[in-house]
Structure 1
Amino acid sequence: MEQAQEGQGSLPRTAAATSPENPWPLRVLSEKLKAHIENSPESWVEGQLLEANVRNGHAYLVMRDVDVDYSFSVTVWASVMRSLDSAPEVGSRVVARVKPSFYAKTGRLSLNAYDLRPVGLGDLLARLERLRRALFDEGLFDASRKKPLPLLPNRIGLITGRDSDAEKDVIRNASLRWPAVRFDIRNTAVQGVNAVGEVMAALRDLDANPEIDVIIIARGGGALEDLLPFSSEELVRAVAACTTPVVSAIGHEADRPILDDVADLRASTPTDAAKRVVPDLLEELNGIAQARHRLDRAVRQNLERESQRIASLRARPVLANPHFMVQVRREDLARLSQRSTYSMRGSLARGQDAIAHLRAQVRALSPQQTLDRGYSVLQLADGQVVRAADQAPEGTDVSVRLARGRLTATITTSQLPDEGITA
């Protein structure tokens, strides 16, 4: 007993401390795994039941993920089974409150379920609506993010089920509209647990091909559960990240998976997708014919209009007799020259009359005119004009300015007006 305890005490305490010389017994690893796993908290999980075996009141289930091929064994003990409203059924979609359980003797990991509830249609719709609202708030549905489709794609990538009606509808209708259309087809699962993974793999492959101008994801109609892969958040985000325009053609007009909202174009049916992606050759040829007809008519109308304009120009007198315009301008110049000469002469005559009138006025007001009437001007020797008798007393020599010439005189008598001399 003491030797066993010593051996147990010499074992490494952690997995990192083990070595080829000092390993753990398998039971130690199993016991440590069991203690670690069973310390995990309970959690709610969702999946689809692949197996449902009920024995002795206990249910032994196999639950698989709804999007990828992952599965787990689930045990529902009889005490829990008695609290359920209905027994688990194969193919049903459920949510379960589970806790991991590790059976150390065989190393078997399973889940113990303490509650099991079927997922109804209303629950699915509510969950999809919450996801739709979250993606909308994130901006994945914004029109600014959507890429325009090419006018005439070089090659179309088609993701659809193998030998499906959707594939036939897209190819047939696209070929009828544009016979030279080319497809790169990827057949994938379009429902079930493998659908999301296969569609995403095909999407990545086509998006990486530079020859692919547009990608169509097509599927025929079906129940809500059948179309759930096309509302997968993982697939929706993969489509949003594509650099190539993506067209969603899932189900019928009434079907609305989340893929429709994030795709660059939503087609109501696979047939509608074919019509939206490629143009109709007959319509294009008809459009070209109409355009050529309109262009021909416009050219003819323009030629006729310009011909009429040339004929009208040629009929004008200036073109019929080019010298006529020169002659008219010459006469205009002669007439204007004559008018300017007459105007200048009239202005000169009026100017001369005005000068003569001003000269007469100046002369009438000049001192010379006064002298011409017999008056004279007396000036002292210094040139000062004598205006009063006291300025020239007796014996003063003065100069007398007449209308013509000057006289020199001596004042013999000088009297002021108040002495009897009047002006």
Structure 2
Amino acid sequence: MDMTPTDADRAFEQEVRDFLAEKFTPALREASAKQAGVFAEGSVARTWHRILHEKGWIAPTWPKEYGGTGWTAMQRYIFERECGLAGTPTLPGMGLALCGPVIMEFGTPEQKAFFLPKMLSGEHYWCQGYSEPGSGSDLASLKTRAIRDGDPGSGSGTGDYVVNGTKIWTTHAHEANWVFLLVRTAKDGPKQAGISFLLCPMDAPGLTVTPIRSMSGEHEVNQVFLDNVRVPVAHRVGEENQGWTIAKYLLTFERGGGSAAGRLNAQLAKLKTIARAQPGDGGGTLWDDAGFRERIMRLETEILAIDWTERRQIATRAAGEVGNNTLASILKLTASEATQKLAQLTSEALGPYAAADQRHALGVAANEPTIGPDYGLTATARYLNTRAATIFGGSSEVQRNIIAKGLGL
């Protein structure tokens, strides 16, 4: 597919820029700049979600029939790139980007009618119940058990599943009011064959959330405990024991469904600003250091490659395909590693200011001054936070295995 922008694409690009200039207010810019986590804090995310929903732009990848934009592949790319370059709040994608496409593909008409509009409006705020202690990269080994309470042979879809177990690293579980779960519904046969996909409200009796504070200071992730939690059979997506097929479908979106290049380029521009401002070892600025400048240029080349790989993935979807697992894994691998390299170089560029604990000045409620230059506020927290980038969403080792298999190696 030709990804060269047309006159209509350029007009749309200007429309997006005008929208951001008006709606991405100084207050929102300040709040977004204080976010060091993967996703914006709940209050910031909800505000930006509401603004995009009012514009009709909250679901760029959804078809119009379900309330999406109906944009072309190039329009989606332009929108995500411009938002990334502007530094808009990163919205949690567990509902709109992950669970939504699953319900569109595998859900019943009743599930689509109930859940999809509430995802769009923001009434439902979703989290993802996949990983467990001991079942992260080896997700198929999960042990959370769901036992059917009722007549499983009736075919009526009535009754409940009684769920027991625990999920971990559950991002924004403390903010969410719904969770989608992978649970074990059969023990016989291959471990992948006995998994089902359930939708559960977070206020269900027996479900509790315990916070996990990251070493960077953010409260993004949690452990979720399920103690005899009853989930209606009507909230199962797909057939019983079809969950692994659904999980693989969802992970294609998680690992290659969005655009990272815009935000990576915005962070790269910030790194260049810091390098031009910070003093170098031999006089002048750090930017005058040819060795450090070369490292930045090498990283810029990697980000350019990511940008073009994302365009290839967009073209794949524009051709009517769900996505390429190998390409999605390439994007997950390279984007997560580039994110870490950016954080590393930014910390090095800041010198002694990178050692300052800035957690008191981060987040929406923070009102303490920054230690050192303002451009160093989030550097240390981002560096610590991005250590997990090559683990979550499927570790780099898992991605390399998928890539090797896809290439027939």
> TM tier, shorter chain?
under 0.3
TM value normalised by structure 1: 0.21
| TM-score (ref. length: structure 2) | 0.22
Structure having the larger proportion of residues in strand: 1
Please identify the structure whose Cα radius of gyration is greater.
1
Higher-RCO chain (CA-CA 8 Å, sequence separation at least 6): 2
